[in-house]
Chains A and B, each alone.
Chain A
């Protein structure tokens, strides 16, 4: 079955100051209904790539074509927990951009926000304060915000950091369902083992090191992606990344 391309990047590059690109020369095509892991070291350009796809970079070169609305899902670890909103309020925020400020949100958009929460398994927590949810539930509330905004392409920034294993599995199964519906899910991650569960992998370290199926990743590709951050485990060719956090 030939599937329509949902994200096409050609010679994509850019950064935050003129003349100093954080990423350059990215070429990839992502068909609809695909999940993609974006691997790379800290500062390697994963978030910059997402900003480029959202057209939010001060400096951008190359071209991007995206079919349908695109939504960014940030790390919950960096969100504010003291903000006075419920999970439903957060989902509703996904619909804010659709109508002018003077028009009330209306029944249809409220219903869509509730549907989105249901979609990620949070219907029963709709009235709970966002800050009272667990890390995994907050991540799912942010995915619901993207779904309420009718996103066809979701860019998730390290959705599993600070999330326990069962919650990570839950998020992964939600992402799998979204992919089945024909949406595109791009997930930036440090977890090389988990990346094997996606349809495709893009390795970025300033430049595009690799784009292809996860089983085509070789230790050499990982070394070129992560440099000194990679550690190979004995037996079975498994590898992990030792993170040097700078934030």
Chain B
């Protein structure tokens, strides 16, 4: 049994992939909790999908994908922000049109014969292709995101819980929204190499939903979010290694599976009883 866990670790590629997913999960899980609490799941999905043109253009120009992803995210965030202000057709429809247009433009570009990488890698990622320099960049960015999450914790909590009172309590609604959008872009940037622009939301939103289902308090929810995102990443890599399936897709399926288990109806806890999360939440 132990061999199942140890054998893959002898491969440097697998070790780097695992490290990358631990870093990405530690950030994506807690941020996912905030995204779900703010009701921004659709915006998160839209922004991550619509950065495709940036990724493809970076591949065409032969520059690092991270730079293309950053430019693509800026364009996507601007388009989604503009579309969400559309009152004539409604924000949902306008965002859907903007996302489809950007994904379509990215696909058209990706089908040109000059593109050196396969479209599949941009869409679904490849954790096993993560190099040491990617790891260093991810770790630095992840540290910045975690510091910003810690620093902005009270402001985010005030606005998410009670936006009408946030300002009088020292918070800021526009500040919280901007912080969340910035951290979302940075987190997608961290995880996109491993998971591609279609699957990146899986380790963001599924752990967020899992954590909020299992936790009655914010602190434990953020911790459960990180644990389930890291767990999904690590489990996915092992599944991919032993079942010989695509790693990105395996990670996404693990994240969804963990969420599905968390969403199962729970037995009613015994009086004064024993559910470990219940005790933790009340501590």
Residues of A near any B CB (own CB < 8 A): 54, 56, 70-74, 78-80, 82-86, 89-90, 93-94, 96-98, 101-102, 127, 129, 145, 149
Q: Does B157 contact A (CB under 8 A)?
A: yes
| Cross-chain contact B217 with A86 (CB below 8 angstroms) | yes
Q: How far is the CB of A58 from chain B (nearest CB, A)?
A: 12
**Residues of chain A contacted by B155 (CB below 8 angstroms):** 101
User: Of A74, A86, A89, which is within 8 A of B164 by CB?
Assistant: A74
Q: List 8 A-B contacts (CB under 8 A).
A: A72-B168, A84-B212, A84-B220, A84-B221, A85-B157, A86-B217, A97-B169, A97-B171
Q: Decide if B218 touches A85 in the complex (CB within 8 Å).
A: yes
Q: Are B160 and A89 in contact (CB under 8 A)?
A: no
A84:B215 contact, CB within 8 angstroms: yes
Q: With A and B bound together, what is the CA distance between A56 and B153 in angstroms?
A: 23
Number of A-B contacts (CB under 8 A): 70
The residues of B with any CB-CB pair to A shorter than 8 Å are: 37, 151-155, 157-158, 160-162, 164-165, 167-171, 212, 215-218, 220-221, 281-282
| Residue contact B170 to A96, C-beta cutoff 8 Å | yes
* Known contacts A74-B162, A85-B161; is-contact A96 B168 (Cβ 8 Å): no
Tell me, in angstroms, the Cα distance from A80 to B165 when the chains sit together: 13
Contact indicator A70/B168 (Cβ below 8 Å):
yes
Q: Give chain A residues whose Cβ lies under 8 Å from the Cβ of B216.
A: 84, 86, 129
Please name the residue on chain A nearest to B167 by beta carbon. Answer: A56
Report the Cα distance A72→B170, complex, angstroms: 12
| Chain B residues whose C-beta falls within 8 Å of the C-beta of A70 in the assembled complex | 168
Which residues on the B side are within 8 Å of A86 (C-beta)? 216-217
Question: How far apart are the CA atoms of A62 and B48 in the complex, in Å?
Answer: 47
A94 in contact with B169 (CB, 8 Å): yes
Q: Are A96 and B158 closer than 8 Å at their CB atoms? A: yes
Query: Are A83 and B160 neighbours in the complex by a CB distance under 8 Å?
Result: yes
Q: A85-B217, A96-B154, A98-B170 are in contact. Are A72 and B165 (CB under 8 A)?
A: yes
Distance of B161 from chain A, by nearest CB (Å) = 5
- Are the CB atoms of A78 and B151 closer together than 8 Å? no
Scoring A54, A82, A90, A97 by chain B CB atoms within 10 A of each residue's CB, the highest score goes to: A97
Q: Which residues of A contact B217 (CB under 8 A)?
A: 84-86, 89, 129
B220 CB contacts on chain A under 8 angstroms: 84
A141 vs chain B, min Cβ distance (A): 11
- CB contacts (< 8 Å) of B169 on chain A: these are 71, 93-94, 96-97, 145, 149
Give complex CA distance A84, B167 in Å: 21
The reply to whether B157 and A93 form a contact with Cβ atoms under 8 Å apart is yes
- Chain B residues with CB under 8 Å of A82's CB are 212
Closest Cβ–Cβ distance, residue B49 to chain A (whole Å): 27
Partner of B158, one of A56, A72, A93, A102: A93
- Tell me which of B155, B169, B218 has the highest count of chain A C-beta atoms within 10 A of its own C-beta: B169
Q: B170, A97: Cβ atoms under 8 Å? A: yes
- Identify the interface centre among A79, A96, A129, A149: most chain B CB within 10 Å of its CB: A96
CB neighbours (8 Å) of A129 from chain B are 216-217, 281
Once A84-B221, A93-B157, A96-B169 are accepted as A-B contacts, the answer to whether A72 and B164 lie under 8 Å apart by CB is: yes
Contact of A96 among B37, B171, B281 (CB under 8 A): B171
A85 and B153 alpha carbons, distance in the complex (Å)? 13
Query: Roughly how many angstroms separate A72 CA and B151 CA in the complex, as a whole number?
Result: 25
- With both beta carbons as reference points, the residue of chain B lying nearest to A131 in the complex is identified as B216
Residues of B within 8 A of A101 (CB): 151-155
Docked complex Cα distance between A78 and B162 (Å): 9
Q: In the complex, which residue of chain B has the Cβ closest to the Cβ of A56?
A: B167
Distance between Cα atoms of A123 and B216 in the complex (Å): 19
Distance of A54 Cα from B166 Cα, bound (Å): 12
- Smallest CB gap from B36: residue in A: A82
Interface centre among B154, B168, B217, B282 (most CB of A within 10 A): B168
- How far is it, in angstroms, between the C-alpha of A237 and the C-alpha of B30 when the chains are bound? 59
User: Which residues from chain B contact A73 at a C-beta distance below 8 Å?
Assistant: 165
Q: Report A-chain residues with C-beta under 8 Å of the C-beta of B281.
A: 129
Chain A hits for B215, CB < 8 A = 84
Neighbouring B residues of A72 by C-beta, 8 Å: 164-165, 168
Complex interface: chain A residues within 8 A of B37 (CB): 83
- Using CB atoms, name the residue of chain A closest to B33: A84
